[in-house]
Amino acid sequence: MKNPDETFSYFFLSLIVGNLEPKIEDLIKRINKLQQAKKVLNEEISEANKHSKTLQLELEKRSYFKRKTEKQKVILKQPQSTILICKRSATMNAEKSSLEEIWNEKKEIKKVMQMHSKETQDEMQREQKLNLDCKKQIEEITAKIQMEKLKQREQRFAFEQLLDELMEKHKNLWELYAKEKPITDMKKSKEQLLLEEKLIQEKLAHVQDELNLLSQVTFSGQRKFLKSQAAASTL
């Protein structure tokens, strides 16, 4: 018979397998979502890098024009030209400040996105590690279940062999008993007949004793009668 502890272990292992399967499906869904989020972040980072390069080129271009304007300002001596150059320089400085501000904002956005991307990658790695651990546990539990099934199969086979051996022994004993039974019955019948014969002989002996006793009593009575006066008068 199967050990109750082994039955409980088998049930507990099966229950663990049943509880792990939905969790793995949830992990796979989360990993897919994280991969999609990572893809979107990579696209945004790539777009931000392109925009950053464009701003950098624009800033360099503005700086080049500023330097060129400053050179022209030294060459030009007319007051009106100087005023125009100053206005243009102020406009370019304002544009430069605006571009630098946009550039700094983009750099900050890029930094935040990179941090978020790193966190997403770390989360994906944790989820993948957890997924691998779950798969490993499932493989170990599956191996234990297979071993338990093999053990049960071996026990069942051994039990069937033992049952066959017991049935064969029982069959042999039954055949031997069937062969010896007529002899035993004859011995019992003989003993019964001898006992009945003995009882009959005892009864016959008892009857013979009673007959002998009765004969003795009758003979004694006859002798008394012959000696009595009644017998004499009769004679």
CB 131 within 8 A of CB 31: yes
Check whether 123 has a pLDDT greater than 60: yes
- pLDDT on residue 208: 76
Tokens at 204, concatenated: 């016959």
Nearest to 1 by CA among 158, 113, 134, 122: 158
User: pTM of the predicted model, to two decimals?
Assistant: 0.33
CB 62 within 8 A of CB 124: no
CB 73 within 8 A of CB 82: yes
- Give the span between the Cα atoms of 69 and 91, in whole angstroms: 12
Check whether 22 has a pLDDT greater than 80: no
Check whether 4 has a pLDDT greater than 50: no
For residue 76, how far is the Cα from the chain centroid? 91
Range in 19-23, 122-126, 219-223 the model is least confident about: 19-23
**Average of per-residue pLDDT values in the chain:** 69
3 state SS of 1: coil
- Give me the mean pLDDT over the 140-161 stretch: 84
- Give me the mean pLDDT over the 119-133 stretch: 82
Check whether 195 has a pLDDT greater than 80: yes
Give 94's DSSP letter: H
Check whether 132 has a pLDDT greater than 80: yes
Check whether 33 has a pLDDT greater than 70: yes
Burial readout 28-37 (b: 16 or more C-beta within 10 A, e: otherwise): eeebeebeee
Check whether 216 has a pLDDT greater than 80: no
Check whether 153 has a pLDDT greater than 50: yes
Dihedral of the CA atoms 207, 213, 216, 221 (nearest 10)? Answer: -110
- Give the span between the Cα atoms of 79 and 110, in whole angstroms: 45
Check whether 197 has a pLDDT greater than 60: yes
Tokens at 185, concatenated: 């019955």
Confidence band of 72 (pLDDT split at 50, 70, 90): low
- pLDDT on residue 230: 46
- pLDDT on residue 89: 66
